[in-house]
Amino acid sequence: MLDSNSVQVTVLSDELGVAFGTSGVRGLVVDLTPELCFAFVTSFLQEVCPNTTHVAVGIDLRPSSPEIAKSVLFAIESYGAKATYCGTLPTPALAFYAMQNAMPSIMITGSHIPFDRNGIKFYRPDGEISKADEASIMNGQVSVPSDLVKNTSERVLPVTDAVAIDLFKTRYTSLFPTTLLNGKRIGVYEHSSVARDVIKILLTHFGADVVSLERTETFVPIDTEAVSEEDKLKGLDWAKTHNLDAIISTDGDGDRPLISNEKGEWLRGDILGVLCADYLNATHVAAPVNVNTALELRKPERKVLRTKIGSPYVIAGMEALLLENKEEAPEARIVGYEANGGFLVGSDFDVNNQTLHALPTRDSILPALIVLAMSQEQTKPISQLTDDFPERYTASDRIKDIPTETSRQLISELKNSKMKQVQLLTAIEKEDEELEVVSIDETDGLRMTLSNGDIVHLRPSGNAPELRCYAESSDLQKSDDIVEKILLSCR
């Protein structure tokens, strides 16, 4: 490469409308050009991992991911480092392999967002990059070779190295007995999840009778935090038709789980997180502000740190808890989770006399296996695992294709105007009820606690032009109704 052009990542990013979201770089596929991808990866290596000699790379099943991978691999090689191409695998599998081998990793994935979009997630040798790292990457000045397009267009992806996925399987096969799921009939909603095959392999290893459900070769954007009505009906139908004990699925890159009970009812991610924290006997939990308050109500003695929404903030919260308790409580058992079901392990745990190593990034496999293990060990169906939980129910949904600035303006008006708050709350008031906002939490967006104890939370999505609404109430149907009516009023 004799010629090159010097570019600043933030300038190129602004020109193409591609930027960091709540987790990783996200943008339209047409805007994720070879130049932009090369620039982001080079800046990551220069600014965050300058001494690296080896990088692990993986992709999801989006049709655009292999082409993006070519630019990523070229950037790594141009930097002078070696790349291990791990092919299609879940994001946590790639991250775990890289962390265990003290190397950075790069995952090409758009997670759950529509197939016309994609993205890149970056991991340091010790885990996900921080928001400070994101800023460093954006401010990086890099040299882009003039032969970039020619090189990437002619490039053929290397043969997949299975070392990462094999290590990930061992993480779980070594943790639970092979008889864990004997007698269980479990459906796997495969769609286009990159985790679909490893899930089936693990369930079969543990003795389950596995039923494959709706495998597709086209990409399907599954949002585990806002499950579609269609998928809700599918779950109910599959459970009844196939006589299932559970249904397991994930989002596109396999870091967010979707788990149903024996009735085909999908578990909320924030309740799944509480179950996992209970199973692991976690003493400290970092969780975003939007997750169910059952977390605090269930075990008041458990230390909880509420964060902004997004795995980088949850990871920072776990790190803060670890630092805070390092001297006073070296035995602290630290986890984190999000409303989308992704579960993070912030310290090593002893499980079944085996070590569960820390994995400070979202994982979909561990929470699925934990819930199945709890059901088996307690000899009760999944639907009964939460019978003793406090009656607090959450719901969420979103308005798609709404400009982020429009969402911010709406939230600003609500924050600063009692009249706007009253107008919004009339949509959910019962007859002869006058609701008012008694407290506001601005940790992330606008979270309003109401005079009747219900909670309404609005925020712009960090990944797409969407307005998200979260609600919490003492009644399940009511929380659903609140979300529906509030979003209708915001349109």
Q: Are 461 and 487 contacting, i.e. CB atoms less than 8 angstroms apart? A: no
**DSSP assignment string, 149-213:** HHHHHH--PPPPPTHHHHHHHHHHHTTS-TTTTTT-EEEEEEET-TTHHHHHHHHHHTT-EEEEE
User: How many CA atoms within 13 Å lie on the side-chain side of 32?
Assistant: 27
The one-character DSSP state at 265 is P
For the four alpha carbons of 105, 371, 273 and 335, in that order, the dihedral sign comes to negative
Which residue has tokens 């000699």? 53
Helix (H) or strand (E) holding 335: strand 334-337
Q: Is 249 a catalytic residue?
A: no
Cα-Cα-Cα-Cα torsion 463, 312, 275, 200, nearest 10 degrees, comes to: 70
Report the alpha-carbon distance of residue 187 to residue 236 in Å, rounded: 12
Nearest in space to 155 (alpha carbons), one of 89, 57, 252: 57
Question: Could you tell me the two tokens for 226?
Answer: 């806002």
The whole-angstrom separation of Cα 237 and Cα 174 is 34
Q: What are phi and psi of 3, to 5 degrees?
A: -115, 150
**Residues 6+ positions from 102 with CB-CB distance below 8 Å:** 125
* Cβ count within 10 A of residue 62: 28
Residue 31: DSSP 8-state: G
Place of tokens 């991911």: 65
- Which residue among 23, 64, 111, 260 is the active-site one? 111
Q: How far apart, in Å, are the Cα atoms of 54 and each of 21, 42, 82, 126, 291?
A: 26, 13, 5, 14, 37
Q: Count of residues for the chain?
A: 491
Quote the distance between the C-alpha of residue 43 and its chain's center: 24
Instruction: Indicate which residues carry an active-site annotation.
Output: 111
